Amino acid sequence: MKLSEIKEILNADVIVGEDKLDIEVKTAFGADLMSDVLAFAKAGSLLLTGLTNTQVVRIANVLDIAAIILVRGKKPPVETISMARNLQIPILTTKYILFETAGRLYSKGIVGCLEKVEPGSE
Amino acid sequence: MNPAVNKSEDTLNKYSFNIEGGNFNDAGTVSTRIKSILKQKGLPNDVVRKSAIVCYEAEINIVSYARKGTVNLTITAETVEIEVIDEGPGIPDIEQAMEQGYSTANQQIREMGFGAGMGLHNINSYSDKFDITSEVNKGTFLKMIINNPQSTKDL
């Protein structure tokens, strides 16, 4: 699914990456705990989170995350926006809560980047 | 900002990076550098990912708790070796610190999305070999080895 469709489904605003809306994504991961994002999010996935500090962008960069979706109407601070611009990582923000964001995307075909955490998930 | 890189002269596959304690703005920059070095060397994605994850958590620990630290990266055909040495308070009870959920993090660390007692646990589960020693009021030493199953030649 294209990022432009995700923007429509979530009624999201694009904060960074207006020129990258044709990126294709199939999977997502959602968490506010960055240790879990590091441990479980996979390259090419969307990252759904409510955290807006620069760590989110740096981790997205290290993990090759396709785009960051901020939930619950969060607006990132300027440092986060400028870092995302430099690293060319799209940031969208939606007013939907994490549960609704995930549910709406799932019902349109986006799936988890992993289904369950089990020994060996790493 | 790029962290200081001291590239050893005897071999092209050893790197060393300094980390300043308390500098939350730069937390993660060493891992970002290490990731791009490993990618550039053509190591398999999985090896790059595991190395970046363990280094990131170790870096967050230095920034959160230590005065300063050093990360030494050594790349061989079969492994990626990451040593993390810090000067800081040390860990009195390593077994307890390794438990999932045990943390002494303050509010600032938690607001960044860390400090949930997952760091050392993640480092342990993403390393193929993990050693940790610590001395109270001196510092902590970590050594993580990630195996490269494809054994990259011509690094």
Backbone angles phi, psi at B55, to 5 degrees: -70, -40
Contact A53, A80 (CB under 8 A): yes
What is the average pLDDT across B3-32? 82
The alpha-carbon gap from A106 to the nearest alpha carbon of chain B, in Å, equals 25
Asked, for residue A119, whether it belongs to a domain, the answer is: no
Asked, for residue A19, whether it belongs to a domain, the answer is: yes
Rg (CA), chain A: 13
Q: Which residues contact B11 (CB under 8 A, 6 or more apart)?
A: none
Report all structural domains of chain B as residue ranges with CATH numbers, in order of start: 13-147 (3.30.565.10)
- 10 Å CB burial of residue A70 (0-12, 13-18, 19+) is buried
Mean pLDDT score of chain A, rounded to an integer? 96
What is the average pLDDT across B100-121? 92
Asked, for residue A43, whether it belongs to a domain, the answer is: yes
Contact A13, A92 (CB under 8 A): yes
For residue B145, the SS3 value is strand
Asked, for residue A34, whether it belongs to a domain, the answer is: yes
Give pLDDT tens digits for B47-83: 999 999 999 999 999 999 999 999 999 999 899 999 9
Asked, for residue A52, whether it belongs to a domain, the answer is: yes
Q: Which of A27, A30, A44, A31 is nearest to A108 (CA)?
A: A27
Please judge whether B114 and A122 are an interchain contact, meaning their C-beta atoms are less than 8 angstroms apart: no
Angle between helices A54-62 and A78-87 (to 10 degrees): 20
The alpha-carbon gap from B74 to the nearest alpha carbon of chain A, in Å, equals 19
Please judge whether B113 and A32 are an interchain contact, meaning their C-beta atoms are less than 8 angstroms apart: yes
Residue A23: CATH number of its domain: 3.40.1390.20
Q: State the DSSP H helix or E strand holding residue B134, giving kind and residue range, or none if neither.
A: strand B129-135
For residue A10, what are the domain limits?
Answer: 3-109
Q: Which residues contact A99 (CB under 8 A, 6 or more apart)?
A: none
- Considering CB atoms only, which of B32, B45, B112 is closest to A34? B112
Asked, for residue A118, whether it belongs to a domain, the answer is: no
Q: Which ipTM did the prediction report? A: 0.89
Which residues sit opposite A13 in a β-bridge? A93
Q: Count up the domains in chain A and report the number.
A: 1
The alpha-carbon gap from A33 to the nearest alpha carbon of chain B, in Å, equals 5
For residue A3, the SS3 value is helix
Instruction: Check whether A100 has a pLDDT greater than 90.
Output: yes
Asked, for residue A48, whether it belongs to a domain, the answer is: yes
Please judge whether A38 and B57 are an interchain contact, meaning their C-beta atoms are less than 8 angstroms apart: yes
The terminus-to-terminus CA distance of chain A in angstroms comes to 26
